[in-house]
Structure 1
Amino acid sequence: MAQTEGCFKGRVTVYSVIGCPHCLQAKSSLKELGLAVCDVDLNQYAALRDQVKKLTGRSTVPQIFFNNVHVGGNDDLQKLAPEELQRLVQMVREQPVPADAPPLPVSLSSDATADSGEFVCKRDAFANLVEEFKVSGVIGCHRKGVRVFRNSFTGRQLVDWLQKEKGMDGPKACELGQGLMDRKFFNAVAGMDCFEESSALFRLLEHDHNNALNSGEMAACSPLKASELSEILRNLILKLHANHLSPDGKSVDYKAMSQSPFFEQYCELAVQLQRVELGSLSREEKLAFFINVYNALVIHGNVSLGFPKNMWQRYRFFNYVSYLIGGEVFTLQDIENGVLRGNRKGIAQILKPFSKSDPRLQVALPQPEPLIHFALNCGARGCPPIKTYTPQGIDGQLRTAAEAFLENDDGCLVDSDRGEVKLSQIFKWYKADFGGTDEKLLDWILNHMSDSTKKVNLQSLLSSGSIKVSFMPYDWSSNSTD
């Protein structure tokens, strides 16, 4: 929790999350008024989320209080009449914090959790061996028919090197070759599952030819638990993103972000995704892991390749920007539609992301998870009070994200006078995930709304039997300063 000092008897409390542009806009406006802002990060102090929701009736952030007076979100703050705003400022200046003021964390210092979850690299026992092999001169180009495979080696070459340089016998060298493959230091070029002493070709993961953003360097650390690594990555990229948001929260300086030493640290950490174990992940672990990685990869892609500016660039961005994860390449499209939507076709896709023989299909969830659509991106005027997802309580976290999205009029707008419901394009693009028909879609939305006037109005329209559904244009505009 951060606080800006000022000569005030009262307190302005802002419940926010790091990386939320709407939160930053609100805090910037408050500070321009000379107000002391007590900033509480609900992503860090998760225990307060339910309390804040009970107080405000909302799932979005920011939520702003002047002493015990709830103002609302950023939009509500900006729309305050000057005389009302001045009255609130005067109240905070002259009146001490009342007993029924909104709650603060038990610990008043953010330092208590600042160091938690930091990544500590424990070097893998086989990393030095792989480094030696990499510089041995064995790895090179191999031709198979008309194709040339760069940065590759045969199983026989690795066995010969282990025998010559490490004094191993043949069976021991083959066993170690399989062990290195199992630990995901290298893959078979042709997609074989097993290592063999033959002319079969293999390639170190760091030499991935698909230009994954985390390739080009060996993952030398002992693999961390997938969910833990994804949380650390997501929190680090969020801090980077927040540090390079403009004061009004409307744009990001991706160029400056790319030159930050913390971005270099993030890239080094992303390399460790190469060797994480995915096969044993539960449904909850998969959801948290891939949502966190997807959101981090979007920012990494914007920094490294630039923000896509037209339809063709967007198509390429989502089908090209990728990470090497657990020995396999996953693009943004693969993560969203292949893993999180149970291997369903995405927008403008002719085929499913994963074929029946694709090893990534084993990671895919058995069916679409509609709630993921509200966690992968936050384009609304209010963000959910969760930015990093955890396996524990993931379903509740995703429902909160959906409630936050539906609270905003750019996610769902109910016009009772016209008998119309206007929805985000997300509901049109992925209607199949929400039941496939307008009727089932509206029922799903109603069941995932928090109690509010909007929910009552939607229920009334549904009961009337006469309702029109339309879809609002999607805002693809860039938030880059370039």
Structure 2
Amino acid sequence: MLRRIFLALCLLAGLTGLAQAQGFDNAPWDALLKKHVQILRAGQATEVDYDGFKVERASLQSFLDSTSKVTRPEFDRWSNPAQLAFLINAYNAWTVELVLTGYPGIKSIKDLGSFIQSPWKKRFIPLLGETRSLDDIEHGLIRGSGRYNDPRIHFAVNCASIGCPALRAEAYVTERLNAQLEDATQMFLSDRTRNRVESDTLKVSSIFKWYRPDFEKAWRGANTLGQFLALYGGPLGLNSDSASHLSAGKLGIEFLDYDWRLNVISSSTRGGKP
């Protein structure tokens, strides 16, 4: 009898540890994304069916409510990949909810801000025991926590704009997080509307200007922006010589204007794949 009790306790501990490692159930968010995100250019970009999200707003709210029920002690027991997947999904889902508060009467998420406050600074998100803003999630919990230090998060969090990296048509999940982040990075950098070579100059998204220090923290040995971008010479369309020049600081880098128009699905792609 004692042996059986001992084995049962060991099994329970193992299951508890597994649950803590895996973290949060993102399946409801995954289902919404699969239904309401339209993939463009083989994954380089996406458009969002906000009308569809409005029809299923109750399902979105249910998922958001579930994120709000997670306590800080519970969150802290999860593995780092589980935490990061949770935060990325929460950020993206709450961004969709914010857009829905003004849609269809807005052309940009910026329309939801004011002269004195950007939409990203609005505190409307009950998360981990506090009422937070989108900036709190991205710059505080993700970038500012010191736990993750992965610049690829900039290609995963979505600001509901055409200039943003794509809103992924699936939820980020613990067991595939590294592969998903890598794919998101390569897809964004391979998009010539946002990153391209012109006249011996590499012109890239303003994301690399705004968050340049994040790309210069020795991730995979990259101590400069050029070195980080050189890691992705293939997706950027660079040959080996150009990538070497970029890494050595011998290839100029310029930053493109950002397109803040809403990433809403267009009439040309609605109802079918491009």
Query: Do the structures match in fold with TM over 0.5?
Result: yes
Q: Identify if the C-alpha distance between structure 1 residues 464 and 441 changes in structure 2 by more than 3 Å, giving closer, same or farther.
A: closer
Deviation string for 1:375-428 (max 9, x for gaps)?
A: 11284699597632111132222112111111112332123xx22111100000
Q: Which residue of 2 aligns with 1:424?
A: 205
Question: Which of these residues, 69, 73, 92, is aligned with residue 295 of structure 1?
Answer: 92
Q: Which residue of 1 aligns with 2:9?
A: none
Paired letter, 1:477: R
Q: Does 1:285 align with 2:72?
A: no
Q: Does 1:271 align with 2:68?
A: no
Question: Which of these residues, 230, 255, 262, is aligned with residue 446 of structure 1?
Answer: 230
Q: TM-score, normalised by structure 1?
A: 0.41
| Aligned counterparts of 1:480 and 1:452: Cα–Cα separation in 2 | 26
Q: Is the Cα contact below 8 Å between 2:190 and 2:237 reproduced in 1? A: no
Q: Which residue of 1 aligns with 2:197?
A: 414
| Aligned counterparts of 1:421 and 1:279: Cα–Cα separation in 2 | 40
Q: Which residue of 1 aligns with 2:215?
A: 434
Q: Which residue of 2 aligns with 1:336?
A: 138
% identical aligned pairs: 26
The 5 Å alignment of 1:10-409 reads 227-229=23-25, 231-239=26-34, 241-242=36-37, 254=50, 257-258=53-54, 260=55, 262-276=56-70, 277-306=74-103, 307-310=108-111, 312-313=113-114, 315-320=117-122, 322-341=124-143, 343=144, 364-366=145-147, 368-377=149-158, 379=162, 383=166, 387-409=170-192
Query: Secondary structure of 1:324's partner?
Result: strand
Q: Identify if the C-alpha distance between structure 1 residues 386 and 374 changes in structure 2 by more than 3 Å, giving closer, same or farther.
A: same
Q: Does 1:467 align with 2:251?
A: yes
Tell me by how many angstroms 1:429 deviates. 0.1
Unaligned runs of at least 5 residues, structure 2? 1-18, 39-44, 266-274
Q: Is the Cα contact below 8 Å between 2:230 and 2:244 reproduced in 1? A: no
Q: Is the Cα contact below 8 Å between 1:414 and 1:458 reproduced in 2? A: no
Q: Tell me the matched-pair count.
A: 229
Q: Identify if the C-alpha distance between structure 1 residues 303 and 240 changes in structure 2 by more than 3 Å, giving closer, same or farther.
A: farther
Tell me which structure has the larger Cα radius of gyration.
1
Aligned-residue RMSD, C-alpha: 3.8
Tell me by how many angstroms 1:464 deviates. 8.1
Unaligned runs of at least 5 residues, structure 1? 1-223, 244-248, 344-363
| Aligned counterparts of 1:367 and 1:265: Cα–Cα separation in 2 | 30
Tell me which of the two structures has the higher relative contact order, counting C-alpha pairs closer than 8 angstroms and 6 or more residues apart. 2
Q: Is the Cα contact below 8 Å between 1:384 and 1:404 reproduced in 2? A: no
Is the helix fraction higher in 1 or 2? 2
Paired letter, 1:292: N
| Aligned counterparts of 2:216 and 2:142: Cα–Cα separation in 1 | 17
| Aligned counterparts of 2:163 and 2:109: Cα–Cα separation in 1 | 19
Tell me by how many angstroms 1:319 deviates. 1.1
Tell me by how many angstroms 1:443 deviates. 0.7
| Aligned counterparts of 2:250 and 2:51: Cα–Cα separation in 1 | 51
| Aligned counterparts of 1:478 and 1:452: Cα–Cα separation in 2 | 25
Q: Identify if the C-alpha distance between structure 1 residues 426 and 330 changes in structure 2 by more than 3 Å, giving closer, same or farther.
A: same
Tell me by how many angstroms 1:320 deviates. 1.1
Q: Is the Cα contact below 8 Å between 1:227 and 1:390 reproduced in 2? A: no
Query: Secondary structure of 1:401's partner?
Result: helix
Query: Secondary structure of 2:131's partner?
Result: strand
Q: Is the Cα contact below 8 Å between 1:407 and 1:449 reproduced in 2? A: no
Q: Is the Cα contact below 8 Å between 1:421 and 1:468 reproduced in 2? A: yes
| Aligned counterparts of 1:466 and 1:365: Cα–Cα separation in 2 | 31
Query: Secondary structure of 1:376's partner?
Result: coil
Paired letter, 1:327: G
